[in-house]
Copies of this chain bind each other. A is one copy, B any other.
């Protein structure tokens, strides 16, 4: 008889893993992925608000019978690595404490994404552990793979930056992007579990809207990464909420510093992403159903009639956009195959 509720460990685990903040949408998925991972052991999943419940009770489709506990660093069993899914600002102190115990950390929050402290402070307020900023690696796997293998603290990119930067990276790396416009949409899982009038089913069904139109925190993050790749371009970013659960689509319009033909641009993308296990370059526009519940990012690039580049990327915002990518990075940090537990 099958035992769907035992962790399917394949021999001795490569690491004992803690998921801190496991009751939200992305923390819960992180716990689920670790639970089903053949080389990782989920030793604890913690939550202040839902301690005492199992993840199964909160999310029936996740089969993690482990009971959520409150995080107590003094009582913590031996842990090799932690995925921390705390809100921005609240994350830094816990991350610092875990690092102090020698635990490898993959952090979900924005606390270690922006390398420039003043930029961080402008968007998020005071930083709780600025001394850790320098050592943090930005966890967009396809761009920082080698650094991630050595990393001890990884900042998971925002879901929009993951989508937008993967859509534009092949051009940005060549210094070709002179300006970019990103119009993106995501489902309500991106809004978080917080129960709010806006995401009540009765409010979202048959609805859609742009939000944070005067400025979104992910804009400076996208600009930081395009600049790091070689294209310090100004970015206009407009996010939208649409009536679906999981999925994120970035529609990017780029002005190039020198004209390229459609064939040249498409060849550049195929070449750049040829070896990537989770990025697939398509022959036509991507769609969200094809990536749902996967760690894949589907990319399509073309040049439209007026000579501008259109670059699209589709991913599941809580998989490649959040928790899938976290485990992808954790695999690298632990010397495992990057795809383990994810395909």
* Chain A residues packing against B (C-beta within 8 Å): 1-2, 4, 25, 58, 60-61, 181, 183, 185, 187-189, 193, 195-197, 199-211, 213-215, 219, 234-236, 238, 240, 242-247, 249, 251, 253, 275-278, 284-290, 292-293, 300, 302, 304-306, 308, 310, 312, 314, 339, 343
Contacts and interface: CB of A to CB of B under 8 A. Distances in A.
Contacts of A251: 183, 210, 238, 240
A191 to B, nearest CB: 8
B339 A2 contact: yes
Contacts of A304: 213-215, 236, 238
A300 B238 CA distance: 13
Contacts of A2: 277-278, 339, 343
A170 to B, nearest CB: 17
Contact of A202 (B185, B197, B199, B219): B199
B210 A244 contact: no
Contact of A249 (B209, B213, B243): B209
Copies of this chain, tallied across the complex? 4
A197 B201 contact: no
A18 B199 CA distance: 29
A5 B204 CA distance: 25
A304 B206 CA distance: 27
A233 to B, nearest CB: 10
Given A183-B253, A238-B310, 18 more contacts: A1-B276, A61-B292, A185-B240, A188-B200, A188-B201, A193-B197, A195-B196, A201-B203, A201-B243, A202-B246, A208-B247, A210-B249, A210-B286, A214-B302, A215-B305, A236-B253, A236-B306, A243-B244
A58 B310 CA distance: 25
Contacts of A343: 2, 4
Contacts of A238: 183, 251, 253, 304, 310
Given A213-B304, A214-B302, A289 B236 contact: no
A301 to B, nearest CB: 10
A209 B285 contact: yes
A314 B188 CA distance: 20
A343 B1 CA distance: 12
A3 B215 CA distance: 34
A219 to B, nearest CB: 7
B207 A1 contact: no
A142 B244 CA distance: 34
